Structure 1
Amino acid sequence: MTADISRAMELKPVGVVRSPIKDRDAMPIWGVDAQLDIFEEYEEALTGIDGNSHLILCCWLHEADRKVLKAVPRKISTSLPEQGVFSLRSPSRPNPISVTIVKLLRRYGRHLFVSGADAIDGTPIVDIKPYQAGMDCVFSAKNPDRTQKVRKMLPAEYKESLIHEGYNFHGERCIGLALAVRMAMVANLLLGCDLRSDDVCIVIGKNHCVSDSLIGITGARLGSGRLLYNLRPKLKQSSADSYSIFSQDKAIVFRFKKFMKDFDGVIECDVNDIFDIEVI
């Protein structure tokens, strides 16, 4: 039966990725802007694609080692424990197919311009599908605890991962997202655990953008009991807009000291310039 299935399988590239990255070791963890050149004979397959903001890009990682069965997430840290490639997003695997969500910036004929592509220049495209939020997004999905993984990350890398997670949920790279990222970095340091853990809850405040971004970063939901609107009685009440990230034995309360109007300014400034922080 296996031999019959193998003979029936046949993959043909439908296009190629034109990327500024030539070496896979130089690929940023969150991808780059790239051009997807679809072959002329498949141009009609692009009909109707323009109405989608995001696409599922499937590529064949032609330079990958197909003999690898276990690996470490090397872009995070080579000291993390080795795992099977089916539990990782490593490019090296028996069938090196990559599945990436990219943002469609614009289309020109059979050429698609996207952001977030993690394929090097010349990578064959296997397929393109529309990303459907109602079908493809499982916000309540669970993954193994990331505490050790986060501890191995450089602060700049962790910051970028938080920006990515908050942006994916909120949809805007705004001041509120930047403020939520700074809160999350402080909370991770003081709580010492993965902020998506079942033991971590958040209390959202008045700013919708900050609240949205905190939900995206922590995965907190009303249904899981991890998302709250009002401060618990043990937390100091204040007329100022406040937010809290807490576990069973510690709570960090953030109150705006100064609401800066520049995304990069919020991301790079001293955290004490923008928040009064209370640890309870």
Structure 2
Amino acid sequence: MELSPIGLVHSSIHCRTDMPVQGVDAEIEIFLDYAGALAGVEENSHLILVCWMHEADRDVLKAVARKVSDDLPEKGVFSLRSPVRPNPLSISVVRLRGVRDGRFLLLENVDLIDGTPVIDLKPYQTGWDCVFSATGHDRTDKIRKMSPGEYRAGLIREAVNYHGELCPGVAVAVRVAEAAARVLERDLAVPQVSVTLGGDPCITDALIGITGARPGNRRLRCQGGTRYVFSGPGKEAVFYLGAVPESVDAIFAAEEASLFDCRVRSPVQLIEK
């Protein structure tokens, strides 16, 4: 088996321990011999980036998701996205922002250090590569160990991946999701959480992307208006939204009380409802 690098990652991050969970903006240099293979690449908003994590330990079979917390349970590396693995291939979906000089790709969400060899590029195709109904492990313990900033960054990425852009409606949805996760004390994507959505299409898109709720899995209802409801085991968080500010930055800086009124229903109140 022979692998020949087609390019290199140029990143501001030089040490693996300094890499943010969500990655950073970076540039991929494609070597001159392979520049012709980029014809048409700019027609895609996202690419599948395959790289070789040259500094990774290849002798580890079990690890901990240490970027989140050292206190998380150890798992087999095939059930983690850790760089340590027998064959340290990195496969990630990145946003393409542009092409410079015919062979330099400007990318977002690149979680690879400077100098990482690039093995391959493929166009990301929603109909083939997106499995929205896919399920994974319960992330509740992981979320509890995240900093508020890390959790917000993850929510933003999930929301934007589904909606397409970070607009004021998405920002409000992220603030609502933060509060709902705190009230219900669990990952909002677990099957035990259902969502009733209001009428704002951007907020609706974002909350579907964050929760994975759909009519088909019986976790999603729509009622219109300005009320949004998150229901979990024995507890329900009801959000009444105010006017949506026009600035994303203002929404993320605002006090929750200025964005929405949250009312929590207890098990007794749910039975009486």
Q: Note whether the superposition's TM-score is higher than 0.5.
A: yes
Question: How far is the alpha carbon of 1:257 from its aligned partner?
Answer: 2.6
Q: Does 1:132 align with 2:117?
A: no
More deviation in 109-118 or 81-90?
109-118
Separation in 2, partners of 1:189, 1:164 = 19
SS at match of 2:217: coil
Question: How far is the alpha carbon of 1:249 from its aligned partner?
Answer: 2.0
Question: How far is the alpha carbon of 1:189 from its aligned partner?
Answer: 1.0
Structure 1 counterpart of 2:269 = none
Structure 2 counterpart of 1:12 = 4
Letter in 1 for 2:90: S
Structure 2 counterpart of 1:123 = 116
User: 5 Å matches for 1:137-148?
Assistant: 137-148=130-141
Letter in 2 for 1:275: F
Separation in 1, partners of 2:127, 2:72 = 34
Question: How far is the alpha carbon of 1:68 from its aligned partner?
Answer: 1.1
Aligned partner of 1:177 among 140, 165, 170: 170
Separation in 2, partners of 1:150, 1:184 = 12
Question: How far is the alpha carbon of 1:259 from its aligned partner?
Answer: 2.1
Give CA-to-partner distance per residue, 1:27-82, whole Å, 9 cap, x none: 11111111111111111111121111100000000111111111100010000000
How many corresponding residue pairs? 264
Separation in 2, partners of 1:257, 1:129 = 43
Question: How far is the alpha carbon of 1:12 from its aligned partner?
Answer: 0.7
Q: Is the 8 A contact 2:11 2:25 kept in 1?
A: yes
Q: Is the 8 A contact 1:258 1:273 kept in 2?
A: no
Q: Does 1:100 align with 2:92?
A: yes
Gaps of 5+ in 2: 266-273
Separation in 2, partners of 1:92, 1:268 = 37
CA RMSD, 1 decimal: 1.2
Runs of 4+ in 1 over 2 A off after TM superposition: none
Letter in 1 for 2:24: V
Q: Does 1:215 align with 2:208?
A: yes
Letter in 1 for 2:234: D
Structure 1 counterpart of 2:268 = none
Gaps of 5+ in 1: 1-8, 232-239
Aligned partner of 1:76 among 68, 73, 86: 68
Structure 1 counterpart of 2:240 = 255
SS at match of 2:119: strand
Q: Is the 8 A contact 1:169 1:216 kept in 2?
A: yes
Aligned partner of 1:162 among 155, 162, 170: 155
SS at match of 1:37: strand
Q: Taking structure 1 as the reference length, what is the TM-score of the superposition? A: 0.92
Aligned partner of 2:187 among 157, 182, 194: 194
Letter in 2 for 1:87: S
SS at match of 1:167: helix
Separation in 1, partners of 2:183, 2:95 = 34
